[in-house]
Structure 1
């Protein structure tokens, strides 16, 4: 099986339904950044030696991100979308569970700590970038709004997961030094 088609050699690609678009189109950048995030999650999973519960959740997130990418590559809802509100509700339950262990914070914290937590913070920022591209796409054409909601919640998930990993590994949160209270419990 050949994996190269040469059809994109001039900067075009086909989206679901066969329409040709430029590879720099917001829609393509949105699903490409979602794919980048999925790949980065694969890196995190490959390095995890503890927290099997988080690892299991990350594998599920990878599956959902593939569905999100398919939805982002689909130019209209008449083809039917794969992502609905259920993955976002599941993420919210994970976030609540993860944040039950570390102490509450009221200030911004610096990304870092344990290497896995640091990688989760990188995933958080990739999720935010993907979200920005999805918003840009939504200003031009129809998208599945559930994908946007999922990506927004996903960055919160990565923040919560990073805090839990640091807590489990005995790595305290480092507050941003010019902080004022930003989170209220």
Structure 2
């Protein structure tokens, strides 16, 4: 039987895919943690989206596809592109396909065709599926911020970073789509009233 625990991280370090051991609070693992957290939120969002009905099964398939691509993204992050010639095989194995970004853009455009035009800022709202997708969107933005140093140092490919940037746009759009499909109103942001002098 394979045990879930290895005890190799008991001293506060763990390994990248390249074999290099780093402290668990290293910036790379901050990125991986945010990506993992985002994936968990997408799993919950997908469960909430089950109530949308059979006509929206493609949206469930999209979320499942994204969850799988986030695993790929984690492998990409855990294999810095600057690892050296002795790691070329692992770097090639964890390449992140630019077509993933194009998929997100296509899905966003498809939803935009049926969504009401956005004329105001909205608060995270619109039912359980929508509200949870907004939570996922904020975690996605944190993952994007975490990735910026790795992107600037060329530890990750440009389209891997673009994917996370585009994913937050997709999640915002899907949140609005879910609210529309469930007939749940989106709460419009209202500026605070000025106190009377």
What's the TM-score once normalised by structure 2's chain length? 0.85
The 3-state SS of whatever aligns with 1:13 is strand
The 3-state SS of whatever aligns with 1:49 is helix
**Long gaps (5+) in structure 2:** 83-87, 193-197
Q: Report the CA distance between 1:141 and its aligned residue.
A: 5.6
Task: Verify: 1:173 aligned to 2:186, yes or no.
Answer: yes
The structure with the largest alpha-carbon Rg is 2
Match of 2:137 in 1: 124
Task: Verify: 1:3 aligned to 2:4, yes or no.
Answer: yes
Pair 1:69–1:121, CA change in 2 (3 A): same
Q: For the residues of structure 2 that align with 1:96 and 1:172, how far apart are their CA atoms?
A: 22
**Long gaps (5+) in structure 1:** 180-185
Give RMSD over aligned pairs.
1.6
1:73-88 map, 5 Å: 73-76=78-81, 78=88, 79-80=91-92, 81-88=94-101
Q: Report the CA distance between 1:140 and its aligned residue.
A: 4.9
60-69 or 79-88, which moves further after superposition?
Answer: 79-88
What's the TM-score once normalised by structure 1's chain length? 0.90
Match of 2:85 in 1: none
Match of 1:96 in 2: 109
Match of 1:145 in 2: 158
* Residues matched between the structures, number: 179
Match of 1:18 in 2: 19
Q: For the residues of structure 2 that align with 1:29 and 1:57, how far apart are their CA atoms?
A: 26
